[in-house]
Amino acid sequence: MNALPVSREIIELKRRLGDDLLILGHHYQDDRIIRHVHFSGDSLELARRAATSQGRHIVFCGVHFMAESAAVLAQEGQNVYLPDMSAGCVMANTAPGPLVDAALQALHAHGRKITPLTYVNSSLAVKAVCGRYDGAVCTSANAKEMLAWAFKQGDGVLFIPDKNLAQNTARAMGLGPEDWHILDMRGGGQALREGPEAARAAGARLCIWPGCCAIHARFKPAQVWEARRAHPDCTVLVHPECSPEVVALADFIGSTSAMIKAVDAAPDGATLIVGTEWHLVNRLAQRHAGRKIVLPLFESICSDMSKTTEDKLLHTLRGIADGSAAPVLVDRAEAALARNTLQTMLAVCP
C-alpha cells in the first residue's frame, strides 16, 4: 500500500475527530508514527497527559502496559486504544502478578513491612498487587524520588521488575550492594521462604526483582570503551535500564526525555553517543544533522515498540470513527487497586 494515502487519511480522520481524539506516542515509536501524534513523551509525561486528557478517545502509540495505565487513569466515558494489542514488553513479562504476590507474602513473613515499588513497565496485575500492599509506581524519570518515598513507608522496599533501574537508582541515592539483594525467583520463589536466600532477603533494605529490558541489556562496557577510543571528546548518554557496569562508564544517565534535553542542550560540534532504543537515537541524529554528531552506542531496536505502523494507526482511527474499534479493557477490581499506585506517583511527583 502506498504510504502517502495512508498518511493523508490519518490526517483527515484526526481533523474529523477533532478534540475528541488524543494520540499519544512514546519516544521509541517510528518517525512515521511520531509525525501524527498530538503529544510525544517519556513514560511519566505520557501518564500525566493521559490522566489530564479530556478527549473521549485516547490512542496510545506505545506498548500494552502504557495503554493499560492510561485506561486505569481514564475517566468515565473515555476509551484507550492500542493500535497493535500484541505490543508487549519483555521486561514487564519477567514479573507475573501471582509470583510478585508470592514474593511479597514471603518477605512479609519475616515480620517486616515491605513497600512494593513497581516500575510502570509492569502489568496491571502487578500494579494491583502493589496496590494491595500500599505500594506505588515509578518511571525512569522519578525513580529516585519514588524510591525515597517508598523507604519512608516501612522497613524495606521490593523494587519490581527492573534490576538495573533499581541498582542504578539506589547507587545514585548513595546506597551500595550491602544495602540490596537481587531475589532468586527460580522455582516460583520457593527459596525465599527459608534458608540462606530467605535470610539474605530478610537482611536487605532493598529487595530487587531479577528482571531487565532485553533491548537495554545489549549495551556493553566494551561498546563505551570503543566509542571513547573512536571519539575521544564524545559524551556518552545512557538510559538507566542499562546495566550498572554501562551506567558507571557513562557521562549522563536519564529517561528518554532527559536524554533528548541533554542532546538538545549540547553545544554545536559535540559528539553524543546515546545508549537507548534506536528509533529515538536516529530521530536525534536527524534533528541535529550538520551541527552535532549523534550516534547509537549500539543499534538496539524494541520489536514491540515497532509493532505500531501507520496502517494499524489508520485502522484504529477508522474503527473509532465508525464505532468498531476495540478499546483496552481492564478488570475493575484490579484497576481500582492499580489506580491508587499510579495516583500515588502522580501525587508524589506532580
Of 188, 213, 186, 192, the closest CA to residue 204 belongs to 192
Please give the span between the terminal C-alpha atoms of the chain, in angstroms, as a whole number: 43
Q: How many residues bind ligand SF4 (CB under 6 A)?
A: 12
100, three cell numbers:
510478585
Alpha-carbon distance 350 to 86, whole Å? 31
Q: Which one among 121, 123, 341, 344 touches ligand SF4, defined by CB under 6 A?
A: 121
Q: Which one among 140, 153, 316, 341 touches ligand 13P, defined by CB under 6 A?
A: 140
**Contact map string, positions 303 to 342, toward ligand SF4, x by CB under 6 A:** -xx-------------------------------------
Residue 115 interacting with ligand 13P (CB under 6 A):
no
User: Segment near ligand 13P (CB under 6 A), from 134-142, 158-166, 193-201, 263-271?
Assistant: 134-142
Q: How far is CA 169 from CA 97, 149, 165, 214, 329, in A?
A: 23, 13, 6, 19, 33
> Mutual orientation of helices 124-132 and 97-108 as an angle, nearest 10°?
20
| 121 or 168: CB nearest ligand 13P | 121
Residue 123 interacting with ligand 13P (CB under 6 A):
no
Say which DSSP state 206 is in. Answer: E
Gyration radius of the chain's alpha carbons: 21
**Contact map string, positions 70 to 109, toward ligand SF4, x by CB under 6 A:** -------------------xxx------------------
State which amino acid sits at residue 43: S
- Minimal distance in Å, beta carbon 123 to ligand SF4? 12
Alpha-carbon distance 172 to 210, whole Å? 19
- Name the pairing type of β-strands 252-253 and 156-160: unpaired
Residue 29 interacting with ligand 13P (CB under 6 A):
no
Q: Tell me which of ligand 13P, ligand SF4, none is bound by residue 68, counting a contact when its beta carbon lies within the kind-specific cut-off of 5 to 8 angstroms.
A: none
Give me the count of residues in the chain: 350
3-class DSSP state of 56 = coil
Residue 256 interacting with ligand 13P (CB under 6 A):
yes
Q: Which of residues 38-57 bind ligand 13P (CB under 6 A)?
A: 42-44
Q: Which one among 277, 310, 344, 345 touches ligand SF4, defined by CB under 6 A?
A: 277
Chain contacts with ligand 13P (rule: CB under 6 A): 27, 42-44, 121, 139-141, 213, 241, 255-256
